[in-house]
Amino acid sequence: MEIVLLAAVVFAIIWFMRRAKARKPQKSKAVVVKPPVPKFRVVTLGLQGSGKTLLLTSIYRRLQAPGNRGYFLKVPYTQLIELNKWYQEVASTQDDWPRGTTRGEMREFDFSVMSLVGTEATAMLDIGYLEYPGELLTDPDAPGSTAQQRLLTSINEAHAVIAIIDGLRILQTYQGDRRGRSILQTTLDAMVHCLLTTPAPIVFVVTKWDLLDQLHPDENLRLELVQRVLMGIEGFRDLVNVHSTRRIVRLVPVSAVGHDFAELHDGVVRKRPDGHFQPSNVEVALASVVPDVLNQVELSLDFTTRQAILAQVHRQTRMSPGEAVRSLASFLTERAGRVLATSVGGGLLGEAGLALFMDSRAEPDPDYQRRIAALSDADRRAEELVQARRRVVRSMQNQVNMLEAKLPSSRLHGGA
């Protein structure tokens, strides 16, 4: 199987080289062969009412423009219409909360992570975000339906999982509410069943973080209290213990509406008439996906393989795009290349993910300006795309780093 995957990767690279060679550009117009765009498949795992749809809406709302991140999200126009409709329902203090996803509405939202290459907005990578009804995790499937099995298969095949824990149920558990504790336990039981054996990185997201403001004025101490509640539940603690030995496990608090928009009345979350809609931390839930997947690939490699890959990356940063492709094709025939192709291609992101992994491990090139000035227009364009892709991955990692610096309790560690 490894040989077949390696052959497929090498064949794809050779095919791109031959196609670039066959399409020799006219002097007046350079033809640029765009590299394939890697796609990350993400599944959110959460019960009905936990806030999956609100999180999806707020993520897009926060990331639809570059801001100071250097990247933004784009979706197909039909999905944009639906996301805007949900946003209007959420943000309006005159309307009730939008209804959750109902049975039969299982679908994938297609996020393209865009960045400017020169003056042109270009897709750096794609993220498929699965939306489904939460009842599929708790109720028997309808006779003849395959929705539940499709969901479980999607979870098992995902590159990353965003596991949603309802902050309201955590608050109720902290306050001694038995019903809230029962619902929280049901949530965590579903996560243990679905995620104990998954090979993907997991980020646990605490939704409705604004409702937990009352626990402590210091946000990190508040998150530490929440962590104690969750780690005090045996199944969740075991899940974290298993995963933290071989991959990153995060606990990210988010508010899809902000800390001044909703309040709790008799166990029901209601909008404030004078509420101000301002989501917090929602972008980190999505931004952590790409760095965590790439870091997991690196952690799966032994020291010798890792050093050989870093040496190859160092060589490629000083080559033209065409030379880098030929060098990568040669590298794939070596032991370290075969191991990497298996790790990335065999079940993760395929050939496009292999290139992204190599790009993301490159150090800044001090000779970049001099080197790019000597390239042809076509090679310069290809090199600018590579640099843009590196910047996007680093920007995502910086967002995660800033969260961890602000909230050290967001990193979960195993323990008795």
> What does the pLDDT profile of the chain (416 residues) look like in tens digits?
443 334 444 444 444 444 444 444 444 444 444 556 778 889 998 888 888 888 999 999 999 998 888 899 999 999 999 999 989 988 888 888 877 666 667 788 999 999 988 788 999 888 999 888 888 888 888 888 888 888 889 998 888 899 999 999 999 999 999 999 999 999 999 999 999 988 888 899 999 999 999 999 999 999 999 999 999 998 999 999 998 887 778 999 999 999 999 999 888 899 999 989 999 999 999 888 888 877 665 555 444 444 554 455 555 555 554 545 444 445 444 444 444 444 444 444 444 455 555 555 556 555 555 555 555 565 566 667 777 887 888 899 899 999 999 999 999 976 55
pLDDT at 69: 87
pTM: 0.76
Assign 3-class secondary structure to the chain. Answer: CHHHHHHHHHHHHHHHHHHHHHCCCECCECCCCCCCCCEEEEEEECCCCCCHHHHHHHHHHHHCCCCCCCCEEECCHHHHHHHHHHHHHHHCCCCCCCCCCCCCCCEEEEEEEEEEECCEEEEEEEEEEEECCHHHHCCCCCCCCCHHHHHHHHHHHCCEEEEEEEHHHHHHHHCCCHHHHHHHHHHHHHHHHHHCCCCCCEEEEEECHHHHHHHCCCHHHHHHHHHHHHHCCHHHHHHHHHHHCCCCEEEEECECCCCEEEEEECCEEEEEEEEECCCECHHHHHHCHHHHHHHHHHHCCCHHHHHHHHHHHHHHCCCCHHHHHHHHHHHCCCHHHHHHHHHHHCCCCHHHHHHHHHHHCCCCCCCHHHHHHCCCHHHHHHHHHHHHHHHHHHHHHHHHHHHHHHCHHHECCCCC
pLDDT at 192: 92
pLDDT at 104: 61
pLDDT at 162: 92
pLDDT at 252: 96
pLDDT at 76: 95
